[in-house]
Amino acid sequence: MFGYNKKKENKQPPEFLVLVEKWDSFLKKIEARFNESLFPAEEAVLDQLEEGNYDMNSNMTAWSGIKAQLLQLADKIETTFVTKVKPQMLEYIEPWELIEQEQKGVKLKESFRPKLQRIEIILEGKVAQKYYDYAIEFLNQDFHCTQCGGKLEIKKDIFRSHYVVCNYCNSTNTFTPSNKITELRWVVDQIAKYKALKEWDEKEAARKTCKAIRSPKEANDFTKLKHAYDNWETKEKAFWTKYFTERAEYVSDYKDTIAHDVKVKMELFFYDDRKRSELQY
């Protein structure tokens, strides 16, 4: 059978090779367009934050729109292959010879999502930082006791309603932050994630290495897989530790729960996966 395949490959007609060239250059163009759109997208979303008077919701809606457009490029790869490339190529080759060509498109398409995921961390991190700098101004104003007018010492790092006892007359005031301030909890999450981007990259790489080892059969493969999982575990933990530590820098409430929060995330994003994989051993 392999001999037969080889013979076939050798006489791929020139018409087919022209079509392959066309397909390759189409994919290159789509990839370039995707990459070129990322930077302007980031600029547009950041600019819109100021123009939209720091309305986070409309800002994130704008990003969703841009993201959807970028993902449409991925759909275009598939439609073009099915409606144009495939029928044209089939005039010159057998269906099984088409797999290689189809895979090129699938590979490019699959590369878009992780790229977008990473850009999203950067983008949301930058938007969040800008928003934080803006909203924190509000907390730097003076707040006064409703009873005696004395200056109140409010907690500047919890971003939610809380009681403040007046140092002058001892009466209890309720400090209610504006909506812009309560959004800061979400904002802080994004800043922390952005600050842990190096660790995020490392754990993603470790996960990919691990996932690339498929269906191990020999003892050697299992050792390799075990090492890959050990490495991924270290990197995954490093990421969540960095993330929760950064977060606690902004919100003091979070300080006491770092170890617990890391544990919860490790269960969710790592230990389940490892357990499932060990069942195959």
SS3 category, 52: coil
Whole-angstrom Cα Rg for the chain: 27
Of 45, 33, 140, nearest to 76 by C-alpha is 33
CB of 162 to Zn ion, least distance (A): 16
Nearest CB to Zn ion, comparing residues 58 and 147: 147
CB of 250 to Zn ion, least distance (A): 29
CB of 167 to Zn ion, least distance (A): 8
Provide φ and ψ at 224, rounded to 5°. Answer: -60, -45
Tell me, what amino acid is at 106?
V
Tell me, what amino acid is at 217?
K
Nearest CB to Zn ion, comparing residues 111 and 170: 170
Nearest CB to Zn ion, comparing residues 135 and 166: 166
Nearest CB to Zn ion, comparing residues 143 and 271: 143
Tokens (6 digits) for 178 = 């504006």
CB of 175 to Zn ion, least distance (A): 13
| β pairing state of 172-175 and 162-165 | antiparallel
Provide the binding-site residues for Zn ion, judged by CB under 5 A: 145, 147-148, 150, 166, 168-169
Q: How far is CA 243 from the centre of its chain?
A: 14
CB of 151 to Zn ion, least distance (A): 9
Tell me, what amino acid is at 159?
F
Q: Do the Cβ atoms of 119 and 80 come closer than 8 Å?
A: no
Provide φ and ψ at 114, rounded to 5°. Answer: -60, -35
Q: Angle 237-241-243 (CA atoms, 0-180°, nearest 5)?
A: 120
Nearest CB to Zn ion, comparing residues 94 and 142: 142
Nearest CB to Zn ion, comparing residues 150 and 216: 150
CB of 166 to Zn ion, least distance (A): 3
CB of 153 to Zn ion, least distance (A): 11
Describe the crossing of helices 56-80 and 14-51 by its angle, rounded to 10 degrees.
170
Tokens (6 digits) for 68 = 């959807």
Nearest CB to Zn ion, comparing residues 151 and 275: 151
